[in-house]
Amino acid sequence: MQNKPEILLIGGGGHCHSVIDVIEQEDRFKIAGIIDKKELIGTKVLDYEVIACDDDLEELYETYKYAIVTVGQIKSNSLRVKLFDLIKSIGYTLPTIISPLAYVSKYSTMEEGTVILHQALVNANTKIGKNCIINTKSLVEHDTTIENHCHISTGTIINGGVVVEQNSFVGSNATTKEYITITNNSFIKAGSVVK
């Protein structure tokens, strides 16, 4: 079997745990290590060591070419966006990571750095931008556009034809009406019905 490319995970919190599980299930990459705060170097996140901090990313690029942002997004996505821009500017490739337990239509597209977690459903003619989280058991219906840097939380239902503009957070179990636009930088509370 050929060697799998190695990938760095940027951020070692709770969302990182979920992404580790998806990467292991997908089996396309070998996790080289976690990048986190300097004082956490040498600690473990699940079975993987924190090997460096953000300041080391340029030097690490000599060895590793793939990275993904594994910081979550609830109150603000500013750290996710900053880290995405940083690793892009260094030259890292940010793959899409898709759980084999998710369903993603072959008629949908998604851009770099986006992670689709277990049992998410992404239906036909859907466009998902860069650096998004499509979380566990969420449903993104047909003809929907999710712009860059959005987090579609666990159990959320985004109905057909919806546009979720960039930097938005849609909380767990929220449901949208079809063919609406959720404007830039929106924060939709868990359990909301969005009309």
pLDDT of residue 59: 97
Q: Radius of gyration over alpha carbons of the chain, in Å?
A: 16
Domain ranges of the chain: 6-90, 96-195
C-alpha span between 94 and 107 (Å, rounded): 21
Q: Which CATH number is correct for 6-90, 3.30.470.20, 3.40.50.2300, 2.170.190.11, 3.40.50.20?
A: 3.40.50.20
Q: Which residues contact 47 (CB under 8 A, 6 or more apart)?
A: none
The third-level CATH classification (topology) of the domain covering 96-195 is UDP N-Acetylglucosamine Acyltransferase; domain 1 (2.160.10)
Of 145, 143, 125, nearest in space to 134 by CA: 145
Sheet holding 163-164, edge to edge: 109-110, 127-128, 145-146, 163-164, 181-182
Average pLDDT for the chain = 96
Residues of the chain falling short of pLDDT 70 = 1-2
